[in-house]
């Protein structure tokens, strides 16, 4: 089994929103991702999608995008991103998902002895007028990550999915990263970063954990191999 990751798909099957308004490199990005996916992923592999899956505003509007992902090979694990406004109650989301797709919220998914945990996360940016609001959301997400990690039983290999990076704007570990270090986490995948934000990426092997930025444009619209066993 191999574990791949790619985030920030930003699909728009119901109300098309061409992503090349954000740059020519986004032209027909889903076709490119899909072709790379078909060439790499087998039915027993796992693909992690850490948020910003669809531009849809309502759950039923996201169904074509979810189905399009579900038709591709492999087992998929998703979390919510900051643009996934369609993500309603977790029970409704799971009911809508294809059979080979799993959503994490306050819990975890175990596949072939590997536990997958995660939450959206959040960013606290200094100087913002509503920083207290950001702190409140961040702490709520921190609690959700703890619930997810605490749900793991009898598994000593954990992969964490976050949408926001577990580092602050200076590249220092935030409380998400410090919480993750209290558990046997091997890999952390995250997305959210695009454009100029990619100039100061923190990733790689750091004190026993490998961090992976998997925004699809950062990966040139290909999937990243996270691990193989």
Is the pLDDT reported for residue 206 higher than 80? yes
22: its two tokens: 């954000």
Lowest mean pLDDT among 1-15, 122-136, 159-173: 122-136
**89-97 LR contacts (CB < 8 Å, sep 24+):** 92/59, 93/59, 96/59, 96/60, 96/62, 96/63, 96/66, 97/66, 97/70
Residue indicated by tokens 């990751």: 5
Mean pLDDT, range 79-83, rounded to an integer: 97
Is the pLDDT reported for residue 189 higher than 80? yes
Global confidence as pTM: 0.96
pLDDT in tens, 92-116: 999 999 999 999 999 999 999 999 9
Q: What is the pLDDT of residue 197?
A: 81
Mean pLDDT, range 52-76, rounded to an integer: 97
Q: What is the pLDDT of residue 199?
A: 79
Is the pLDDT reported for residue 198 higher than 90? no
Q: What is the pLDDT of residue 59?
A: 96
Is the pLDDT reported for residue 165 higher than 80? yes
Mean pLDDT, range 109-133, rounded to an integer: 89
Q: What is the pLDDT of residue 221?
A: 97
Q: What is the pLDDT of residue 127?
A: 62
Yes or no: say if 180 and 155 are a contact pair by the CB < 8 Å rule: no
151: its two tokens: 């749900």
Query: Highest mean pLDDT: which of 33-42, 149-158, 191-200?
Result: 33-42
Question: CA 71 → CA 10, 64, 98, distances in Å?
Answer: 17, 11, 8
Q: What percent of the chain has pLDDT over 70?
A: 100
CATH for 2-228 (3.40.50.300, 3.30.540.10, 3.60.21.10, 3.40.605.10): 3.60.21.10
Residue-averaged pLDDT of the chain: 94
Mean pLDDT, range 59-88, rounded to an integer: 97
Which three-class secondary structure state does DSSP give residue 91? helix
pLDDT in tens, 134-143: 999 999 999 9
């Amino acid at each position: 089994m191999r574990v791949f990751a790619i985030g920030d798909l930003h699909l728009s099957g119901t109300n098309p929103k061409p992503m090349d308004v954000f740059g020519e490199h986004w032209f027909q990005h889903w076709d490119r991702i899909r072709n790379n996916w078909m060439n790499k992923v087998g039915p027993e592999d796992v693909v992690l999608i850490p948020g910003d899956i669809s531009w849809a505003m309502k759950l039923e509007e996201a169904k074509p995008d979810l189905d399009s992902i579900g038709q591709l090979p492999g087992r998929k694990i998703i979390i919510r991103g900051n643009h996934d406004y369609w993500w309603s109650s977790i029970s409704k989301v799971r009911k809508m998902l294809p059979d080979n797709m799993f959503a994490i919220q306050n819990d975890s998914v175990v596949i072939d002895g590997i536990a997958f945990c995660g939450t959206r996360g959040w960013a606290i940016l200094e100087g913002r007028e509503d920083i207290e609001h950001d702190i409140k959301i961040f702490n709520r997400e921190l609690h959700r990550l703890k619930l997810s990690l605490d749900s793991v039983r009898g598994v000593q290999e954990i992969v964490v999915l976050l949408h926001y990076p577990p580092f602050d704007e200076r590249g220092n570990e935030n409380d998400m990263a410090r919480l993750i270090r209290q558990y046997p986490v091997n890999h952390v995948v995250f997305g959210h970063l695009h454009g100029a934000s990619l100039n100061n990426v923190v990733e790689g092997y750091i004190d026993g954990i490998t961090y992976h930025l998997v925004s699809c444009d950062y990966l040139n619209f290909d999937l990243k191999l996270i691990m193989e066993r």
